[in-house]
Structure 1
Amino acid sequence: MTQKLVAGLEPPYYTALFTSIRPDAPEGYAETASRMQEIVKEIPGFLGYEAARTPGGIGITVAYFRDLESLDAWRLDTEHQAAKTYGREHWYDSYSVHIGKVERSYSFERE
């Protein structure tokens, strides 16, 4: 889980919202998640992400991308595609992906 929020960004940009239900700590998940974080950070146009998971297994990850080309680069990455296939077969009970264009953004942080 992330401990710091992505601050307000200059719009427009895009989000990939991934919500899922899976058991806590399935075998191999943490290693794969760590590798996916490494890969996505190398994509030009990737702006950051936030993630949270409840003890009951509901997870939400929001990734931010400057444009659709950078989001597509992530979607089409071969390691990411392999992880998605493995996740459907072994980890997730269900998931949804929502892609959105952000037109307004702001943030607050207590000093």
Structure 2
Amino acid sequence: MFAVIFKAEVGEQDQEYLDMAEKLRQLAFDKYNCQDFVAVTEGAQEIAISYWQSEQDIQAWHKDSTHLIAQKLGREKWYRSYSVQVVEIKREYGG
């Protein structure tokens, strides 16, 4: 199992952003085998964590044409800065 951790300083987030975020979320689940997706915004900080079965699914998602458009818009207006980490989950436990 893998996770993609997206951290950003929020810029202008308009209705277009909200619509695109929902579209991308559904696309990740429907086409790219995303297992779970959680996003939280506090003040100007956003963090989103998505969970995937394979790195190949993550790479395919990253290259999706709709996602590429969203990435461009994100750099141009939706985010002041961002970072992305792809990590492999070695173990998981809870109570």
Instruction: Say which structure is richer in helix.
Output: 2
Deviations, residues 56-97 of structure 1 (Å, cap 9, x unaligned): 210000000001111111111110011000110111100000
Q: Any gaps of 5 or more consecutive residues in structure 1?
A: 1-12
Q: Quick one: percent identity of the two aligned structures?
A: 24
Larger Rg: 1
Q: Any gaps of 5 or more consecutive residues in structure 2?
A: none
Q: What is the identity, as a one-letter code, of the residue corresponding to 2:3?
A: T
Q: What is the identity, as a one-letter code, of the residue corresponding to 2:78?
A: W
Maintained 8 Å contact 2:12/2:77:
no
Partner of 2:49: 62
Q: CA deviation at 1:44?
A: 4.3
Partner of 2:22: 34
Structure 1 stretches of at least 4 aligned residues deviating more than 4 Å after TM superposition: none
Matched length: 95
TM-score normalised by L of structure 1: 0.78
TM-score normalised by L of structure 2: 0.91
How many Å separate the matches in 2 of 1:49 and 1:82?
Answer: 20
Q: What is the identity, as a one-letter code, of the residue corresponding to 1:32?
A: M
RMSD of aligned C-alpha atoms? 1.5
Partner of 1:20: 8
How many Å separate the matches in 2 of 1:75 and 1:107?
Answer: 30
Instruction: Say which structure is richer in strand.
Output: 2
Partner of 2:74: 87
